[in-house]
Amino acid sequence: MELNRFRKQLANVEDACTLAQAIVDTVREPILVLDKALRVIAASRSFYSLFQVTPGDTQGRLLYELGDGQWDISKLRLLLETIIPEHGVMEDYQVEHEFPGAGHRTICLNAREVFYEGGAEPTILLGMQDITRQSALEREKEALLQQKDVLLEELQHRVVNSLQIIAGIILMKARTVESEETRLHLRDTHSRVMSIAALQKHLHSPGAGGPIDVGPYLAKLCDALATSMISDTQPISLKVCGDGGSTTSRQAECLGLIVTELVMNALKHGFPDDRQDARITVGYDAAGTNWRLSVADNGMGRPDGVFAQVKTGLGTSIVNALAHQLGAQVETLAGPQGTTVSVTRATFSAKVRVA
């Protein structure tokens, strides 16, 4: 009903043409109306303004002859002469060109073929969106992101090198002091600094952005811990097991620091004798947002059924503080078969088997 009323109101051809031209002029983006031969029937005011041309230089001329032939582009010819007749539409085709009067521009083109019930030849509406500034901003953004990645990589490299230098200085100092207690404290500090350096090196290595696979991450960390903390004369194995999963870089760093402290504690207190089958097992299992991290050893432990007493040492304080950041609970269970320290988030109850 509405369409019929609209047709009656615009029964006069001149009135219809006037309305069509008014619509074209109202749209902000430049628009060309082309006939089947790609000759310009009409153009919007924004087209004349952007490309600094006049109606006399535009109307009735072939698209490829406009200006200095700036629209005579082979890919555009293919689109308009082949794709439009076959599909009737062209969307988001970008053209970069040095247009006389407009300068270097990036134009996004959209075209649609229009058919008429009265039998008139179809026309093509060619819409243009000037995305020059948008494209420049995108390129600038990509360049800044690449620069940021390079600077972050250089920063992390310097942090790791600085930590290793500090660790070396601490170890040198430990060799020169006379107090055995001071020497032990310095060696503990050296081990902590080296573990942090190993964490930083793994978390911020090239290509390590995004989620961190916990299994490979902990395996690599434990390899570094074994190399730096277990001497050739100590027959202690250190391995990782569990279902794994992935997590954020920040959470992985906390998990790594917890593992480091617990492994250090097991090496210091779990094996006072020279047993031949000494083992430390690091386990991590996850289910959705819930997870459980455990570090278990088969060391001296405590009598059956007795929980380890709460300690107030630096390592215990670090583990508790990191667990609090992760919203997790710490539980320590020790018996004749060794000691297991579990850090659990939420209701996850899977058990880690100690081999």
Chain centroid to CA 227: how far? 32
Q: Can you say whether the dihedral through the CA atoms of 264, 268, 271, 276 is positive or negative?
A: positive
Q: Distance between CA 140 and CA 143 in Å, rounded?
A: 5
For the record, the structure tokens of 298 come out as 């088969």
- Residue count of the chain: 355
> What pLDDT is stored for residue 354 in this prediction?
40
24-28, 167-171, 276-280: which range is least confident on average?
A: 24-28
Q: What is the pLDDT of residues 152-165, one digit of tens each?
A: 677 766 777 777 78
Give kind and range of the element (H or E) at residue 154: helix 132-176
* 77 pLDDT more than 60: yes
> What pLDDT is stored for residue 344 in this prediction?
93
Higher-confidence position of 319 and 193? 319
Domains of the chain: 2-130 (3.30.450.20), 229-355 (3.30.565.10)
Q: How confident is the model at residue 328 (pLDDT cuts 50, 70, 90)?
A: very high
Mean pLDDT: which of 24-38, 41-55, 302-316 is highest? 41-55
Q: List C-alpha distances in Å: 176 to 165, 181, 182.
A: 17, 13, 10
Q: What is the pLDDT of residues 298-327, one digit of tens each?
A: 887 654 444 444 455 677 888 888 899 899
Q: Strand 278-287 to strand 236-241: parallel, antiparallel, or no bridges (unpaired)?
A: parallel
Q: How confident is the model at residue 123 (pLDDT cuts 50, 70, 90)?
A: confident
Nearest alpha-carbon partner for 160 in 203, 213, 222: 203
The whole-number average pLDDT for the span 335-339 is: 82
Q: Distance between CA 199 and CA 205 in Å, rounded?
A: 10
The whole-number average pLDDT for the span 22-45 is: 80
Classify 6 in phi/psi space as left (phi over 0), alpha (psi -120 to 50) or beta.
Answer: alpha
